Homo-oligomer: A and B are copies of this chain.
Amino acid sequence: MITSSIKQSFIRIVGEAFYYDSPAERLVYSYDATPNYQAMPDAILSPSSAEEIASIVKVCGEHGIPIVPRGSGTNLCAGTCPTEGGIVLLFTRMNRILELDEENLTVTVQPGVITGELIASVEAIGLFYPPDPSSMKISTIGGNINENSGGLRGLKYGVTRDYVLALEAVLPNGDIIRTGGKLAKDVAGYDLTRLLVGSEGTLGIITEATLKLVPLPETKKTMLATYGDMEAAAKSVSHIISGKIIPATLEFLDQPTLAVVEDFARIGLPTEAKAVLLIEQDGPAELVTRDMTRMKEICLEHGAVSVELAATPEEAEALRTARRSALSALARLKPTTILEDATVPRSEIATMVSAINRIAEKYKLNICTFGHAGDGNLHPTVATDARDHEEMERVEAAFAEIFSEAISLGGTITGEHGVGMMKAPYLEWKLGPEGVNAMKLIKQAFDPGNIMNPNKVFAKESRKRVVISR
């Protein structure tokens, strides 16, 4: 509850123009990209500095008001739904690139910078920021850091975590801390930088970040391998990696996804194929050519029906864009799209995909699967309708079984989307009660009043583990 005196405190901090609490404004920030977790915040604040945020945090701490930091709300784990009310913090006024340091290969940014804009800025001067979540055209760097976002280039280049060198953050007690530096090496105490990365706004609010850049690869090539069965595609993936080639991108789309994406993107995808692999390599031209030739051979040796190299950069871009649009394409099918990201060791991809298909059949669901084959990070997706309660129950049961299967194969419940509220009940399946307890110790130590994005990561109750009948 925000009383009028608390409201006045907030307004004194951010100014009247940056405090919003009309029903329409509250409605706008009541949901994110995740279906089914809508909840109204009490107010929305758009601060302009770490100091303002520290003051806001102190007010919230005093009155037990939940704080939900929010970038563009593109997350898929209900990480930014204000399920306990309270305030939503926006970073629309903290959206500047503060410094691009070409000598140290770093860029320092405010959390509200749009990922795609950052990438374009650094590429303009021959540098490269690899993390590229599919939502990068609208996602913010702050959101990416909070969720430790992955992307299509994760296999070769790693994820957001691997590029965060330093952070400024406001802790739940109102302290402003600075971690790390423009340093390739720093072991001064615990790794608070990486503890904050992926902590989903539950431990503090990121107010500035220094990111590592690498030289922009000189060239890039793209090809599409088409398969008559999934098993062959998975085998190709395994043989590429065990053949000691690490491609920049190694993406997979199954037949149902292909059909939907082609219908959306209309670029001539082979919709009759059972699966395709989108393969890219970047680097010096001679090396890219060598790797692409070798990967083409491997794909053909392991059952690819055809392997086509994109003839032009435009054709390559069309393929990438098609892959990135998978979620948007699937979202056109039905009112509700539920996209998951169970992840397994890459050697288990074929097993996992066939398990997903078996589970889909068992629960009479159409599950489209695509994702980062090189990472073992799959996105089984169901187009459904949240108003159809009977079907929603089957969807939920199916995903529980998918998570369980992933864990049995040495995998995890989420590879890049985060736990948020959506996967919190399943966290214990991956970590055991001891692992969840260790995380709770940190949460309680940092945020004893539980004001920072409450209900995220940690569930009120864990689900019982499904017993899988094989």
**Hey, which bits of chain A sit against chain B, CB under 8 A?**
101-105, 126-127, 147-148, 150, 154-155, 158-159, 161-162, 171, 175-179, 181-192, 194-195, 197-199, 203, 214-216, 238, 241-242, 244-246, 284, 286-287, 290, 343-347, 372, 374-377, 410-419, 423, 427, 430-432, 434-439, 441-442, 444-446, 457
Contacts of A346 in B (CB 8 A): 103-104, 184
The docked-state distance in angstroms from the alpha carbon of A430 to that of B284 is: 39
Q: Are B190 and A244 in contact (CB under 8 A)?
A: no
The docked-state distance in angstroms from the alpha carbon of A177 to that of B433 is: 9
Q: Are A190 and B195 in contact (CB under 8 A)?
A: yes
Pick the contact of A345: B161, B183, B438 (CB < 8 A).
B183
The docked-state distance in angstroms from the alpha carbon of A186 to that of B238 is: 19
Query: Known: A415-B185, A416-B187, A446-B441. Contact between A177 and B434, CB under 8 A?
Result: yes
Q: Are A435 and B181 in contact (CB under 8 A)?
A: no
Q: Are B184 and A427 in contact (CB under 8 A)?
A: no
Query: 7 additional contacts, CB 8 Å, given A189-B439, A190-B203?
Result: A104-B241, A105-B242, A183-B376, A185-B375, A185-B377, A190-B195, A194-B194
Q: Are B412 and A181 in contact (CB under 8 A)?
A: yes
- In the complex, 17 of the A-B residue pairs with CB atoms within 8 angstroms, ordered by the A residue number, are A104-B347, A155-B184, A171-B434, A175-B437, A181-B411, A182-B410, A183-B344, A185-B343, A187-B417, A187-B419, A188-B412, A188-B414, A188-B430, A190-B199, A192-B439, A214-B246, A438-B446
Query: Known: A185-B154, A186-B343, A241-B105. Contact between A175 and B434, CB under 8 A?
Result: yes
The docked-state distance in angstroms from the alpha carbon of A184 to that of B346 is: 9
Contacts of A186 in B (CB 8 A): 343, 412, 414-415
The docked-state distance in angstroms from the alpha carbon of A410 to that of B210 is: 12
Contacts of A126 in B (CB 8 A): 244
Q: Are B103 and A238 in contact (CB under 8 A)?
A: yes
Q: Are B431 and A345 in contact (CB under 8 A)?
A: no
The docked-state distance in angstroms from the alpha carbon of A344 to that of B423 is: 41
Pick the contact of A178: B162, B216, B286, B432 (CB < 8 A).
B432
The docked-state distance in angstroms from the alpha carbon of A412 to that of B192 is: 14
Q: Are B185 and A372 in contact (CB under 8 A)?
A: yes
3 pairs of A and B residues whose beta carbons are closest in the complex: A215-B244, A185-B415, A445-B445
